[in-house]
Amino acid sequence: MKFTELKLDEQVQEAISYMGFENATPIQAKAIPLVLENKDLIACAQTGTGKTGAFLLPVLNKLVGKEDTNIDTLIIVPTRELAIQIEQQIQGLGYFVSAGSIAIYGGGGGKEWQIQKEALTNGVDIVVSTPGKLISHLKMGYVNFKHVKHLILDEADRMLDMGFIDDLKSIISYLPAQRQTLMFSATMPPNIKQLAKRIMNDPAEIALSISKPAAGVAQKMYMAHDNQKIKLLAHILSERKNYDSIIVFTSTKSKVSEIVRSLGRAGLKATGISSNLEQERREEVLRGFRAKRIRILVATDVMSRGIDIKEINMVVNYDVPHDAEDYVHRVGRTARANTKGEAFTLINEKDMHKVWKIEKLIETKIEKLHPPEKMGPGPEWKEGRAGGGGNKRKFNKNKNNKFRGKNRGPRKPNSGGGQKPNTSSTKPSN
């Protein structure tokens, strides 16, 4: 569907045209009409499908001609990076609509606090905020949310995973009961549905491509003991010298600097990013990665959701993520907007049950590889249910470093494409 077919004001259409967008993504085509009709909405679609545009465009449409300075829209997000990104998109689109906005998040000093206080007191059209920082302002008693018409929870599942449920309930208690509430999420666990029942009024529901990696991602996994991982990672990176944008994901902040140092000793320059860095430094690193000044970025899951960096060639999961959904979000950083990309995952002895859950979720069996012969054999792959149980499947290594064997275990997950909707280069992406 073309944006011109949607009932958007001429000023919003002009902004869309100026930014080079023509066709709406599936989530945008389904969500925008419902938001314009003032319906509450639960929208579930994987990262990279254009969720941000799906709520920003209709909200900006409603702001056309707004004359007062009251806070009209509150957008709650899990991370500072996502707050900054959404506010930047508002600035780009809102130029044609004359909409004002502010991003509120932690990490700043007294000057930033004062700017945020003035906006929350005197009013600004759209506030984008992380929960914790907004709670700090609300406790001071000067925040004016009396005129809020739209509440948007972006990456709602992630916020609940991060333990923000009580903060969200507290923030919502300050808002008018009569409002439009929009909830956007990449997955739809039971706690999301429970929250929706409490804060929404007969919401419409949209579900697209839940938890399936993009078809353009070539997924492979290496069986590797922990003491083999650094050498194997260096081997993978060295073989792809033509790639200029690579993310290496690790599950803990403490490993970020360790991996960066180890890659440096192997002659591979890498930069780390985690919540241990000061906000200014994190933003500097992200700018360098976007501009391709930084080729290899080692990151925790702060980077796996909601950060829109295009043309990432490859993702490497140094650690298998704890949750299967997080694998989808990590892998979703590459092969966006119908491009191609690679995703490698390093599996140790303890992580096999996590891989089984991943393969079950995405309904795809992922190719298992052995480390190069000079590194020695990796652990034996065991096929079984989550928790490490089940029968074993024995493999023999062939000349192409691939495992082969007979299926003697329990029923295995169905294999399938796991293809997400067409997301041609037509979106303000999230």
pLDDT tens-place string over residues 383-403: 764 444 333 333 344 444 443
Distances (CA, A) of 248 to 71, 237, 286, 329: 39, 10, 14, 13
Q: Which of 170, 161, 221, 217 is nearest to 190 (CA)?
A: 161
**CB-side neighbour CA atoms (13 Å) of 110:** 0
Length of the chain, please?
430
Q: Which residue has the tokens 């993702």?
A: 315
- Residue whose tokens read 């206080």: 117
The pTM assigned to this predicted structure is: 0.65
For the cut 90, the answer to whether the pLDDT of residue 185 exceeds it is: no
DSSP sequence for 22-89: -BPPHHHHHHHHHHHTT--EEEEE-TTS-HHHHHHHHHHHHHTT--S-S--EEEE-S-HHHHHHHHHH
- 3-state SS class at 316: strand
Kindly list the structural domains of the chain, giving each domain's residue range(s) and its CATH number in brackets, ordered by start: 3-208 (3.40.50.300), 217-362+366-404 (3.40.50.300)
Across all residues in the chain, what is the average pLDDT?
84
* Element (DSSP H or E) covering residue 196: helix 190-199
Reported as a pLDDT band with limits 50, 70 and 90, residue 345 is: very high
Nearest to 251 by CA among 270, 266, 229: 229
Structure confidence at residue 409 (pLDDT)? 41
pLDDT band per the 50, 70, 90 thresholds, residue 100: very high
Q: What digits encode the pLDDT tens for the residues 309-321?
A: 777 899 999 999 8
> Measured between alpha carbons, how far is 76 from 183 in angstroms, rounded to an integer?
10
Mean pLDDT of the region 162-179: 93
Lowest mean pLDDT among 30-44, 201-215, 362-376: 201-215
> Helix 131-138 to helix 165-173 angle, to the nearest 10 degrees?
40
Which one, of 35, 4, 57, 2, lies nearest residue 149 by Cα?
35
Q: Are 299 and 312 in contact (CB under 8 A)?
A: no
Helix 165-173 to helix 190-199 angle (10° resolution) is 10
Phi-psi group of 418: left, alpha or beta (phi > 0 → left; psi -120 to 50 → alpha; rest → beta): left
DSSP character at residue 375: G
Q: Which residue has the higher pLDDT, 48 or 298?
A: 298
Give the residue from 427, 430, 404 showing the smallest Cα distance to 85.
430
pLDDT the model gives residue 232: 97
Task: Write the pLDDT tens digit of every residue in 148-169.
Answer: 999 999 989 889 878 899 999 9
For residues 171 and 76, is the Cβ–Cβ distance under 8 A?
A: yes
- Asked whether the beta carbons of 138 and 173 are under 8 A apart, the reply is no
Are the beta carbons of 275 and 253 closer than 8 angstroms? yes
Tokens 């929350």 map to which residue?
120
Q: What is the pLDDT of residue 254?
A: 87
188 pLDDT band, cuts 50/70/90, is: confident
pLDDT at 130 over 80: yes
On whether the CB atoms of residues 222 and 402 are closer than 8 A, the answer is: no
Long-range (24+ apart) CB contacts under 8 A made by 272-276 are 272/297, 272/298, 272/299, 273/297, 273/298, 273/299, 273/300, 273/302, 273/303, 274/299, 274/300, 274/302, 275/300, 275/302
Q: Are 220 and 59 in contact (CB under 8 A)?
A: no
Instruction: Inform me whether the pLDDT recorded for 272 exceeds 50.
Output: yes
Please compute the mean of the pLDDT values over residues 333-353 and round it to a whole number.
83
| Of residues 299, 350, 349, the one with CA closest to residue 326 | 299
